[in-house]
Structure 1
Amino acid sequence: MSSAERLLSRLESTDVWEGFKTLLPISSFVVVFGVAFGLAAVQTGLGEISIVAMSTLVFAGAAQFAVLKLWGEHVPLIPLIITVFAINARHLLMGATLYPWLRELPRAKRYGVMLVVSDANWAMSMQAFSRGEPGLGLLFGGGIALWSSWSLGSWMGIYFGSAIHDPVSWGLDMVMGCFLLAMVVGGQKSLRMLIIWIVAACSSLWAYWCLPENSHVVVGALAGGVLGAVWIEKKNEH
């Protein structure tokens, strides 16, 4: 492995701390959604320990909200598993994109990092890699910030959730979408990337209208990923 590759795969305590601080601003909004989840879970009938344990061990906001819709006296196990898998299937693709850098880590570290991967820290780490900068600190440190905020917010929601019972009415549901859009705009700019994003967006919209719920995430990612893999950009030789 070259020195440049070792640099990109670096995961030191200073990198983790910098990643943690970088993701703290977006984490403040994650706390608010955690509060909303905690309140919704209480209203659904989950106990305090179950709520905190779910957010701490699962750390999957959209999937956890979806589970609440299926929760009841008789939980439909198979539909619940299918729903959660469909929502979180994008993590399979995230893991694949991160593998070139994660493979240099010991197995325990590799899986430890993946435990806290979410949309925001994945996007920021991939942007760092595209600039030729180390991104694993952003991935892991930022993931810890997001995970801590989600867990804290869920706990707060049990006791103080009535203060923010509907984050959508505050426009907070747009924060993560705008953040990820900013990552796209700030990334590599070329005709190839523009077409890939257009194909991914159109495929996702089609799946949203025509396929089962939550499948649009996977369809859009696969469409853009396949096109990106097939359409290899030629590097300029000097």
Structure 2
Amino acid sequence: MKDFQTEAGATFANGVTLTGGGVLRGARGLLPVALFVVPFGVSFGVTAAEHGMTPEQAIWMSLLAFSGVAQFASLDFLSPSVPFLSLALVALAVNARHVVMGAVLSPWINALPPGRRMLTLLFMTDPNFADSYAAFLNGKRDMGRLLGGGLALWAMWTLGTAIGVLGGKALGSLDAYGVDVVMLCFFTALVAGQAKASRYWAPVALSCAAAVLLQGHLPQGWDILVAALVGGVVMAVSGGRDIAGRTR
């Protein structure tokens, strides 16, 4: 702990830092969103119990894996003889979007030493990626924001898992609470804030169209991955020009 506190304020390449203060700010900033992760954790806990997992197994899985969709998908592989290769391939497929997210953050995350880099990426999820990327584009350089936001989400996901596996059935159907719309509103607000320049309109519109059209036709998560690739390709082909052909 002493080494972390001593070196937490070190500045790496491109002015990137990883500070304890940044971790706290990231956690506080995403705590309101993280609270709405609890019902999803509850849902996983209930489902895990229905598949025969003990409370200890479900909670430890959330603590160590922290991969919502992959955790749900893995429940279908529970058997006396676990097909580990198939399980790994499913986890890779549903989390393939992390390849795109990692590439987007590479100018900042790669400035960290390997140990801090792996620790920070371990807690990267969709919400703290989107929040941190917007901050980095605005000149922020403290990777603690990404790590802190991830820690908040991880804690709430694990809390939800514990509630669900220990007594979530008493809550009834979670769909009635409409918590799934919170994440949609969160990401929509972030995209809208970053898409003010007209050069972003075409990539955003086409990636949204791809996600909607492909939903239900591809395995879960792949529609988002393909939509991200569509937006990236459109942006690369356009060269940053807006719809009138002007570069801004």
TM-score, length of structure 2 as denominator length:
0.85
Alignment of 1:65-214 (within 5 A): 65-72=72-79, 75=82, 77-134=84-141, 136-214=143-221
Structure 2 match to 1:5: 14
Q: What is the deviation of 1:213?
A: 4.1
The 2-side partners of 1:118 and 1:64 are apart by 14
Q: What is the deviation of 1:69?
A: 3.8
Task: Give the secondary-structure state (helix, strand or coil) at the position aligned to 1:186.
Answer: helix
The 2-side partners of 1:135 and 1:127 are apart by 12
Q: What is the deviation of 1:227?
A: 2.0
The 2-side partners of 1:150 and 1:199 are apart by 32
The 2-side partners of 1:196 and 1:109 are apart by 33
The letter for the 2-side match of 1:107 is P
Alpha carbons of structure 1 residues 180 and 164: separation in structure 2 relative to 1, 3 Å: farther
Alignment check: 8 A CA contact 1:128 1:135 kept: no
Which deviations, in whole Å up to 9, do the C-alpha atoms of 1:55-82 show, x marking residues without a partner?
1111111221222244345655555333
- Where structure 1 has 5 or more consecutive residues not aligned to the other structure, the ranges are none
> Which deviates more, 90-99 or 59-68?
59-68
Which deviations, in whole Å up to 9, do the C-alpha atoms of 1:106-143 show, x marking residues without a partner?
00000100000001000000111122223522211000
The 2-side partners of 1:103 and 1:3 are apart by 10
Alignment check: 8 A CA contact 2:74 2:91 kept: yes
The 2-side partners of 1:54 and 1:70 are apart by 14
> Which deviates more, 219-228 or 112-121?
219-228
The 1-side partners of 2:151 and 2:73 are apart by 23
| CA RMSD of superposed structures (Å) | 2.3
The letter for the 2-side match of 1:127 is A
The 1-side partners of 2:90 and 2:12 are apart by 43
Alignment check: 8 A CA contact 1:35 1:164 kept: no
Q: What is the deviation of 1:194?
A: 1.2
The 1-side partners of 2:13 and 2:138 are apart by 12
TM-score, length of structure 1 as denominator length:
0.88
Task: Give the secondary-structure state (helix, strand or coil) at the position aligned to 1:124.
Answer: helix
Alpha carbons of structure 1 residues 191 and 113: separation in structure 2 relative to 1, 3 Å: same
Which deviations, in whole Å up to 9, do the C-alpha atoms of 1:144-165 show, x marking residues without a partner?
1111111122122222312334
